[in-house]
Amino acid sequence: MNADVIIVGAGIAGLVAAAEVADAGRTVLLVDQEGEQNLGGQAFWSLGGLFLVDSPEQRRLGVRDSLELARQDWFGSAQFDRADDRWPRAWAEAYLDFAAGEKRSWLHRMGHRIFPVVGWAERGDGRATGHGNSVPRFHITWGTGPGVVAPFERRVRAHADAGRVTFAFRHRVDGLIVESGAVVGVHGTVLEPTTVARGRPSSRVAVAEFAHRAQAVIVTSGGIGGNHDLVRRAWPARLGTPPRRMVSGVPAHVDGRMLGIAADAGAHVIHPDRMWHYVEGILNWDPIWDNHGIRILPGPSSLWLDAAGNRLPAPYFPGFDTLGTLRHLRATGYDYSWFVLTQKIIEKEFALSGSEQNPDLTGKDLRLLLSRVRSGAPGPVEAFKQHGEDFVVARTVEELVAGMNRIADDDVPALNAAAVRTLIEERDRQLANTFTKDAQVMAIRSARTYRGDRLIRTAAPHRLLDEAAGPLIAVRLHILSRKTLGGLETDLSGRCLTGDGSVLPGLYAAGEVNGFGGGGMMGYNALEGTFLGGCLFSGRTAGRAVAAQVG
């Protein structure tokens, strides 16, 4: 079939783009290699965090933010340093204006709502002009990821009912149709129908071929996080050697195929070495996809040790500098590290990424939400503590270290209980006064001056060896593959560019496949809440630009 616009990828960026194109009265063919049950893509599984600047939620919590401060933080984190950063820089400026301007009100008009406590993610590398958020900016959607997807799915399905949007699920694009230097359609393979649950691996059995034409094609197919071979191939030397083993934060169908397909048609891929992988991954004890990893979103109090038992130096504390910590850990030569903490810390400071791991927020359940301020860990966290293979619980340091050694890799030196006890005792002595030279203890005390952290995210400072705070807990942390920060280079309309900087007619991109804007608007580092927001902004931008372009 023919349509005014073809959109490749039915994740959140694709839904936003489709809604905007159809709102303008244009027809859309929305194709995706997965089944309809995966509509919304990775946004569905997310915590629904959004980067906002100077929001009412921030102001109610006493947070003073501004566009100027956000720009300082963004560019201090991005560290743009290449000639190819022209369009990423421009997208960063545009996105900051959006996040400080109409982003919240635009979403609010569609029924989107925000949890009142703003999170403080990526607290930074310790420099005012360096990486990190100077203030809390991580706004969690009331309803988490599904709450982000819902308003756009409603819009798109309404357009489908009206005949302006047609879904083509199980359609895998294998190539772009290029005529006279312009992209005029897509061709590929129809895969057999699937009834597997959302996120589960689906069949790749081909049953037919297809070719569809349009005035424009928007690629919104996501990144490479589910393809660990591609991740390792793009892994930059500045982050050390790629890990032999990672856990996967996304399903296998997040495979990066469309990056190569678009490049074959003449689109320019930039900054493939810029990527975002977490260092607090744990294996899901009840997995949805193969090698399914969940990220711990930690408060600042856990003692962080490398696989050999060495305490990580400042500023590599939980929740501060993701890629700096990754770089440090890769230099150790081992694929995992450890948190050592107490029951008191896990109860207040452990949150888990993913909509399915936060049933209170996802289900908008106020009664269940109140459990977060009562004694005891949240139910999903407690379930990981009881069932997760990466968790060790013990009453003494000696028992704890024995358990850590039982699940350690064979090529890692056994941890010494006396050495671990010494590290813990040295840390604990720094709590005798309200002042200290220990940078992590200072960070904990500083965090609790923020009302949101004191309320639900940072435990009162205490000795790890205080029996009243126990038992002791150790958590083995894996590297968790997640986001692509580079991608298809686009101008501020979302039009794909060629290697010489000229526009590739007919081809647009949005979402993770174009580094969330321009080919990498976050540069080398992300500030969190910028992935979903980047999909929303770039999908909207491309959708509106295409709608204005096609007749």
Q: What is the pLDDT of residues 510-520, one digit of tens each?
A: 999 999 999 99
User: For residue 231, what are the CA distances in angstroms to 171, 256, 274, 322, 423?
Assistant: 25, 10, 10, 17, 35
Residue 92, both tokens: 């960063």
In this structure, the number of other CB atoms found within 10 A of the CB of residue 418 comes to 9
pLDDT given at position 371: 81
Long-range contacts of 185-191 (CB under 8 A, 24+ apart): 185/6, 185/211, 185/212, 185/213, 185/214, 185/217, 186/6, 186/8, 186/31, 186/211, 186/212, 186/217, 187/211, 187/212, 188/31, 191/33
Provide the residue count of the chain: 551
- Overall average pLDDT of the 134-150 stretch: 98
Question: Does 373 score more than 90 pLDDT?
Answer: no
Secondary structure class of 226 (helix, strand, coil): coil
**pTM as predicted:** 0.97
Predicted confidence (pLDDT) per residue in 61-85, tens digit = 999 999 999 999 999 999 999 999 9
Q: Do residues 495 and 506 lie in contact, with contact meaning Cβ atoms separated by under 8 Å? A: no
The residues, any chain, with a CB within 8 Å of residue 119's CB and separated by 6 or more, are 49, 136, 138, 139, 140, 297, 452, 457
Residue 514's beta-bridge partner residues?
487
Predicted confidence (pLDDT) per residue in 268-292, tens digit = 999 999 999 999 999 999 999 999 9
Q: Do residues 488 and 513 lie in contact, with contact meaning Cβ atoms separated by under 8 Å? A: yes
Predicted confidence (pLDDT) per residue in 178-214, tens digit = 999 999 999 999 999 999 999 999 999 999 999 999 9
pLDDT given at position 172: 98
Report angle CA 490, 493, 499 to the nearest 5 degrees: 25
Backbone angles phi, psi at 304, to 5 degrees: -105, 120
User: Of 78, 84, 71, which Cα lies nearest the Cα of 523?
Assistant: 78
User: Of 417, 377, 375, 374, which Cα lies nearest the Cα of 397?
Assistant: 417
Single-letter amino acid, residue 156: V
Whether the ω angle into residue 315 lies within 30 degrees of 0, i.e. cis, is yes
Q: Do residues 216 and 546 lie in contact, with contact meaning Cβ atoms separated by under 8 Å? A: yes
SS (H, E, C) 258-320: HHHHHHHCCCCEECCCCEEEEEEEEECCCCCCCCEEEEEEECCCCEEEECCCCECCCCCCCCC
Q: Count of H helices and E strands in the chain?
A: 18, 20
pLDDT given at position 374: 79
Residue 43, both tokens: 């946004």
Question: Does 551 score more than 90 pLDDT?
Answer: no
Question: Does 1 score more than 80 pLDDT?
Answer: no
pLDDT given at position 82: 97
User: Of 100, 39, 38, 106, which Cα lies nearest the Cα of 68?
Assistant: 100
As a whole number of angstroms, the longest Cα–Cα distance in the chain is 74
Whether the ω angle into residue 471 lies within 30 degrees of 0, i.e. cis, is yes
* Side-chain-facing half-sphere of 55: CA atoms under 13 Å: 29
Predicted confidence (pLDDT) per residue in 228-283, tens digit = 999 999 999 999 999 999 999 999 999 999 999 999 999 999 999 999 999 999 99
pLDDT given at position 372: 81
- Overall average pLDDT of the 24-39 stretch: 98
Question: Does 86 score more than 80 pLDDT?
Answer: yes
Residue 488's beta-bridge partner residues?
269
Chain centre to alpha carbon of residue 13: 14
